[in-house]
C-alpha cells in the first residue's frame, strides 16, 4: 500500500514537471514569434518610362556641309554664293532654322548692296561708262531680278551695237570697254575660267590697263578657290601659281593645296598596293599614275607600275 502511494506521488511529480516544461516551451515560442517582424509586403512595380528612340537624320551631314560653305562664302564677301548655299540647305530641309535665318539676313544685305552698286553705276554713266557697267553687273549679280539694273545693261549693249554700226570702215574698235564687256559678264556670272580667257585677250590689246590686270588676278584667285573646295588640288595650284604670294590669301591656300596633294599621293599609293594584292592590276596602275602626276620622282610608284605591266603581259601570253 505504501509502495503504491509512493509510485503515485512520483507519477504526479513527473506530470507536474512535464506541464512546467510545456508551459515554458509555449512561453518561449510566443516570445520568439513576437520578436520576428511581420513579412514585408512587396512594393508595387513601377513602370519604367523608356526614353523615345533617337531619330538620326541621314541628310544632316549634307545640310551641315552647305551651311558651313554658306558661312565661309559670307566671310569671303560672296553674298550671292552664300545665299545659294542656304537655299540648297533649305531644299534638303525646309524647316532648318539656321538656313532660314541666314537666307533672310543675306537677302536683305544683298538688296542693300545691290542698291548701292546700282546708284554708283548711275553716277558713273556719263563720266566712266565702263565702270558704270561693272557696277550694274555687280548689282545684278547680288540681285538677279533687279529690273532697273537689267534695263541699264540692255542700254549698254544697244550703245555698243550702235557705236559699231556708225563707226567708219576700219574703225570698229570701240576701246578697252568693248574688250572688257564679255570678260566682266563672265566674271560676274561666276564663270571664272571663261573670264580668264577673255581677260587674257584684253590684256594682249591693253597690257598695262589696271582694270584688266585686277580682274584677271581676281579670276585666277576665285577659280583657284573653286578648285580647292572641290579637292582639285592640282588645278588649284595652277591657278594660284599665276598670282603673287601676297595676293589675298594665296600663300595660305598654296600651303593647303600642297598638303592636300601630298595626302592624295599617299592615299593613291596605298590604294595601288591594295589593288595590286587583289590582282586588280589595271586599277592599281591608274592609282600609281595619279601618284606620278603629283610626284613625278616617286620611285616606288614607278617600280610597281613596271611590275604590274609585266604581270599583265605574262597573263596575256598565257591566254
Q: Are residues 70 and 148 in the same domain?
A: yes
Q: Which of 101, 136, 160 is at the close of a domain?
A: 160
- Do the domain assignments include residue 90? yes
Q: Which single residue is written with the C-alpha cell 599609293?
A: 269
Secondary structure (H, E, C), 21-75: HHHHHHHHHHHHHHHCCCCCCCCCCCCCCCCCCCCCCCCHHHHHHHHHHHHHHHH
Residue 72 above 80 pLDDT?
yes
Q: Are residues 126 and 79 in the same domain?
A: yes
pLDDT recorded at residue 255:
92
Q: Which three cell numbers stand for residue 202?
A: 584684253
- Domain extent, residue 222, equals 175-248
Q: Which of 160, 185, 215 is at the close of a domain?
A: 160
Q: Are residues 225 and 196 in the same domain?
A: yes
Q: CB of 238 within 8 A of CB of 267?
A: no
- Do the domain assignments include residue 26? no
Q: Are residues 154 and 187 in the same domain?
A: no
Q: Mind listing the pLDDT tens digit for each residue in 153-205?
A: 776 555 554 444 444 444 444 456 656 777 777 787 788 888 898 888 888 88
Q: Are residues 300 and 233 in the same domain?
A: no
- Look up the CATH number of the domain holding residue 151: 1.25.40
Q: Mind listing the pLDDT tens digit for each residue in 39-52?
A: 555 555 555 566 66
Q: How far apart are CA 228 and CA 4, in angstroms?
A: 129
Q: For the packed helices 233-240 and 250-277, what is the interaxial angle rounded to 10 degrees?
A: 150
- Do the domain assignments include residue 187? yes
Cβ neighbours for 128, distance < 8 A, ≥ 6 positions apart: none
pLDDT recorded at residue 128:
78
Q: pTM surpassing 0.75? A: no
Q: Are residues 98 and 142 in the same domain?
A: yes
- Do the domain assignments include residue 40? no
Amino acid at each position: 500500500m505504501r509502495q503504491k502511494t509512493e509510485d503515485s506521488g512520483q507519477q504526479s511529480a513527473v506530470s507536474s514537471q512535464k506541464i512546467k516544461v510545456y508551459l515554458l516551451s509555449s512561453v518561449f515560442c510566443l516570445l520568439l514569434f513576437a520578436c520576428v517582424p511581420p513579412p514585408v509586403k512587396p512594393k508595387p512595380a513601377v513602370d519604367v518610362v523608356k526614353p523615345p528612340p533617337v531619330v538620326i537624320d541621314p541628310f544632316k551631314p549634307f545640310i551641315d556641309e552647305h551651311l558651313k560653305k554658306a558661312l565661309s562664302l559670307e566671310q569671303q564677301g560672296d553674298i550671292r554664293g552664300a545665299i545659294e548655299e542656304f537655299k540648297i540647305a533649305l531644299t534638303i530641309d525646309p524647316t532648318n532654322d539656321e538656313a532660314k535665318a541666314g537666307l533672310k539676313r543675306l537677302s536683305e544685305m544683298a538688296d542693300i548692296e545691290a542698291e548701292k552698286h546700282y546708284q554708283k553705276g548711275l553716277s558713273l554713266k556719263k563720266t566712266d561708262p565702263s565702270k558704270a557697267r561693272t557696277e550694274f553687273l555687280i548689282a545684278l549679280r547680288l540681285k538677279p531680278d533687279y529690273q532697273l539694273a537689267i534695263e541699264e545693261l540692255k542700254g549698254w549693249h544697244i550703245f555698243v551695237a550702235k557705236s559699231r554700226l556708225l563707226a567708219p570702215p576700219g574703225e570698229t574698235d570701240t576701246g578697252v570697254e568693248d574688250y572688257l564687256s564679255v570678260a566682266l559678264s563672265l566674271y560676274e556670272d561666276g564663270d571664272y575660267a571663261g573670264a580668264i580667257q577673255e581677260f587674257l585677250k584684253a590684256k594682249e590689246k591693253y597690257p598695262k590697263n589696271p582694270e584688266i590686270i585686277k580682274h584677271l588676278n581676281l579670276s585666277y584667285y576665285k577659280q583657284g578657290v573653286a578648285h580647292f573646295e572641290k579637292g582639285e588640288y592640282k588645278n588649284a595650284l595652277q591657278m594660284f601659281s599665276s598670282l603673287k604670294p601676297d595676293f589675298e590669301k594665296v600663300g595660305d591656300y598654296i600651303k593647303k593645296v600642297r598638303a592636300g596633294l601630298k595626302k592624295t599621293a599617299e592615299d593613291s599609293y596605298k590604294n595601288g598596293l591594295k589593288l595590286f594584292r587583289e590582282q586588280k592590276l589595271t586599277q592599281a596602275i591608274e592609282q600609281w599614275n595619279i601618284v606620278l602626276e603629283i610626284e613625278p620622282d616617286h620611285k616606288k610608284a614607278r617600280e610597281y607600275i613596271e611590275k604590274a605591266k609585266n604581270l599583265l603581259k605574262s597573263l596575256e601570253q598565257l591566254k
